[in-house]
């Protein structure tokens, strides 16, 4: 585990299916950091709404339910290593797999446009990163959630390649869907992410842009880990 005098925050942004989750999880494992999937929090918000029969377009009805919820994340314990990238706890219940359905995925995209929901979840995310080294990934981490992160990364890939990855992932999970449907949905999600009025997906000037189109997961992880090790070493020399 890498030790540092200060909390070392790695902030990773990027579009859907760019490899953020897998890369972040593996980087966190190698560095001994906590992996935080902020997208999972929006999935939890959608789960809360669906379970309580709240219209996900109704920000005012959804906000208090999300605000009151206890949302915790941790790296999977030994008995939880069942393929999940992170363990997500909602009010004491392990919902790590409950939030991974396609219905919740679509719902998360809907609730993510609400300014009040984003505000309360950003606060919860910042609290998680206050006292520990983290690799945090999402859509607004580099400039909204962790604006002072020591390393900021924008992970991306060609949209057709991302759609292929997403399609393969869904088929692996037993979801019957065509590539054309996945590609159309991906472009729509990209558009929503980039054009929403609050915290749109963007590349900050100081971000290290990594195009994963022609790179393996292992290559991307090695790049990031090597960069962090150099930064930590340089910090210790000061």
pLDDT at residue 119 greater than cutoff 80: yes
Q: Is 233 part of any domain?
A: no
Q: How many domains does the chain have?
A: 2
Averaged pLDDT for residues 148-153:
97
Same domain, 121 and 153: no
Q: What is the 3-state secondary structure (H, E, C) of the chain?
A: CCCCCCCCEEEEECCCCCCHHHHHHHHHHHHCCEEEEHHHHHHHHHHHHHHCCCCCCCHHHHHHHHHHCCEEEECCCHHHCCCCCCEEEECCEECCCHHHCHHHHHHHHHHCCCHHHHHHHHHHHHHHHCCCCEEEEECCHHHHHCCCCCEEEEEECCHHHHHHHHHHHHHHCCCCCCHHHHHHHHHHHHHHHHHCCCCCCCCCCCCEEEECCCCCHHHHHHHHHHHHHHHHHHHHHC
Averaged pLDDT for residues 39-64:
97
Residue range(s) defining the domain that contains residue 165: 9-33+134-228
Same domain, 85 and 147: no
Averaged pLDDT for residues 10-35:
95
pLDDT for 90-114, tens place per residue? Answer: 999 999 999 999 899 999 989 999 9
| Residue 238 pLDDT | 59
Same domain, 138 and 126: no
pLDDT for 171-218, tens place per residue? Answer: 998 989 999 999 999 999 999 899 988 889 999 999 999 999 999 999
Q: Is 43 part of any domain?
A: yes
Q: Is 4 part of any domain?
A: no
């Amino acid at each position: 585990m890498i030790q540092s005098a200060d909390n070392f925050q790695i902030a990773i942004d990027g579009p859907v299916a760019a490899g953020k989750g897998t890369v972040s999880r593996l980087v966190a494992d190698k560095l001994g950091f906590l992996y935080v999937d902020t997208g999972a929090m929006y999935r939890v918000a959608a789960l809360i709404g669906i379970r309580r029969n709240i219209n996900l377009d109704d920000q005012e009805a959804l906000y208090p339910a999300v605000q009151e919820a206890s949302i915790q994340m941790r790296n999977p314990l030994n008995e939880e290593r069942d393929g999940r990238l992170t363990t997500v706890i909602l009010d004491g219940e392990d919902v790590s797999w409950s939030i991974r359905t396609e219905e919740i995925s679509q719902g998360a995209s809907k609730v993510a446009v609400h300014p009040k929901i984003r505000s309360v979840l950003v606060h919860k995310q910042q609290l998680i990163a206050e006292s520990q080294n983290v690799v945090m990934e999402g859509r607004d981490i580099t400039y909204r959630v962790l604006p002072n992160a020591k390393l900021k990364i924008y992970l991306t890939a060609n949209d057709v390649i991302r759609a292929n990855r997403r399609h393969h992932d869904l088929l692996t999970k037993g979801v019957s869907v065509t590539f054309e449907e996945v590609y159309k949905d991906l472009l729509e999600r990209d558009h929503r992410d980039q054009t929403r009025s609050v915290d749109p997906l963007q590349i900050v000037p100081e971000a290290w842009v990594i195009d994963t189109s022609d790179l393996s997961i292992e290559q991307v992880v090695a790049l990031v880990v090597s960069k962090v090790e150099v930064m930590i070493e340089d910090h210790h020399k000061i």
